[in-house]
Amino acid sequence: MMIMCREATKLMSLSLDRNLTRRERLALRVHTMMCRPCRRCQAQFELLHRLGEQPPTTDDDPNATP
Amino acid sequence: MTTATSSSHEPAINAHIAALRPKLVAFARLQLRDGAAAEDAVQDTLVIALEKHATFEGRSAFETWVFGILKNKILERLRQQKRYANWHAFDDQSDDDAFDTLLQGSLFQPNGRWQAAARPQAWGEPDQLLENQGFWRVLDACLIALPDNIARVFTLREFMGFSTEEICKEVGVTETNCWVILHRARLRLRNCIEKGWLDSP
């Protein structure tokens, strides 16, 4: 099953919310192997998925407005 | 800020809380997308933190605990402000599709490949990015720019750690719809962050 970038981003997003089927996983893997922009996109989605892990980085100055 | 305790550690605790406060406000603002609401949530949190701080030994345990309280306060406010009427927009399939077409068209070519201008660029090391104040500032602006419904689902998923099944119950959308919303939110955010990031000095 060949997929294009749009479908690949859909599967990347989905993989963060539920388990992909074997077929979906393979299709995504084959696509990202060939496509650097999609590998970047995947890394960025994963970064967004980590946002809740830690508080934001802010100025240490308590009077600073965020 | 008023303190309800008269512990000898009070000055240290006040300093500690004062140092923590900007992080708390920034965290709340990302999720509530409203400065005043964020300040309120943090005030409520600090009242509890000041009352209960004596029971904590370590500083990091205390901070984790304070963030836990804040998450609950944010969730309370998200529930109050969710303006349920807005959620009906999700049932309107034609609105949904029009929006989707617009978004997807700016990101992807008709054949499904990235548009040249929207092709993802390298962002560098994730851990360094998460420690970069500028990154959080851009993220804050990009979250505010998201439509309410999309931002709320994203917040529940990524900041609150709700499963998509829990989000369905919380906001009354189907799980499939939830996955679609999250896909859009992530595409829009990554695009917005990249634009904001590259445009900033």
Contact B126 A46 (CB under 8 A): yes
Percent of chain B at pLDDT exceeding 90: 39
Lowest mean pLDDT among B30-34, B89-93, B129-133: B89-93
Instruction: With a cut of 60, say whether residue B3 has pLDDT above it.
Output: no
Residues from chain A that touch B129, judged by Cβ atoms under 8 A, are 47
Which pLDDT belongs to residue B198?
63
B199: left (phi over 0), alpha (psi -120 to 50) or beta: alpha
Instruction: With a cut of 60, say whether residue B166 has pLDDT above it.
Output: yes
Q: For chain A, give me the number of helices (H) and strands (E)?
A: 3, 0
Establish if A16 belongs to a structural domain. Answer: yes
Judged by a CB distance cut-off of 8 A, whether residue B65 touches chain A is no
Contact B111 A18 (CB under 8 A): no
Residue B118: pLDDT band with limits 50, 70, 90: very high
B107: left (phi over 0), alpha (psi -120 to 50) or beta: alpha
Alpha helices, DSSP H, located in B33-161: 35-52, 59-81, 93-107, 126-130, 133-145, 148-154
Name the residue facing B183 among A9, A38, A61 (closest C-beta).
A9
Establish if A63 belongs to a structural domain. Answer: no
Establish if A62 belongs to a structural domain. Answer: no
Mean pLDDT of chain B: 82
> HSE on the CB side for A63, CA within 13 Å?
0
Establish if A55 belongs to a structural domain. Answer: no
Establish if A61 belongs to a structural domain. Answer: no
Establish if A42 belongs to a structural domain. Answer: yes
Contact B108 A6 (CB under 8 A): yes
- Provide the number of structural domains found in chain A: 1
Instruction: With a cut of 50, say whether residue A19 has pLDDT above it.
Output: yes
Instruction: With a cut of 90, say whether residue A43 has pLDDT above it.
Output: yes
Which pLDDT belongs to residue B92?
46
Which pLDDT belongs to residue B103?
74
Q: Which of B185, B93, B94 is nearest to B145 (CA)?
A: B185
Which of B190, B193, B195, B198 is the mutation pick for testing A, counting most A CBs within 10 A?
B190
Which pLDDT belongs to residue B9?
64
Which pLDDT belongs to residue B80?
81
Establish if A65 belongs to a structural domain. Answer: no
What is the distance in angstroms between the CA of the first residue and the CA of the last residue of chain B? 37
Name the residue facing B132 among A6, A49, A57 (closest C-beta).
A57
Closest-CA residue of chain A to B136: A56
* Across B129-133, average pLDDT: 89
> What is the tens place of the pLDDT at every residue in B51-104?
877 666 677 778 888 888 999 999 998 888 765 435 444 544 445 566 677 777
Contact A13 B186 (CB under 8 A): yes
Instruction: With a cut of 60, say whether residue A23 has pLDDT above it.
Output: yes
CA-CA-CA-CA torsion sign (B165, B171, B174, B177) = negative
* Across B27-41, average pLDDT: 91
Stretch (H or E) spanning B190: helix B175-199
Higher pLDDT, B136 or B4: B136
> What is the tens place of the pLDDT at every residue in B177-194?
999 999 999 999 999 999
Q: Quote the domain boundaries for residue A32.
A: 5-50
Which of A46, A47, A59, A63 is the mutation pick for testing B, counting most B CBs within 10 A?
A47
Residues 131-150 of B with CB under 8 A from A: 131-133, 135-136, 139-140
**ipTM for the whole complex:** 0.88
Which pLDDT belongs to residue B201?
47
Instruction: With a cut of 80, say whether residue B11 has pLDDT above it.
Output: no
Higher pLDDT, B5 or A13: A13
Establish if A59 belongs to a structural domain. Answer: no
Instruction: With a cut of 80, say whether residue B168 has pLDDT above it.
Output: yes
Highest mean pLDDT among A18-32, B82-96, B164-178: A18-32
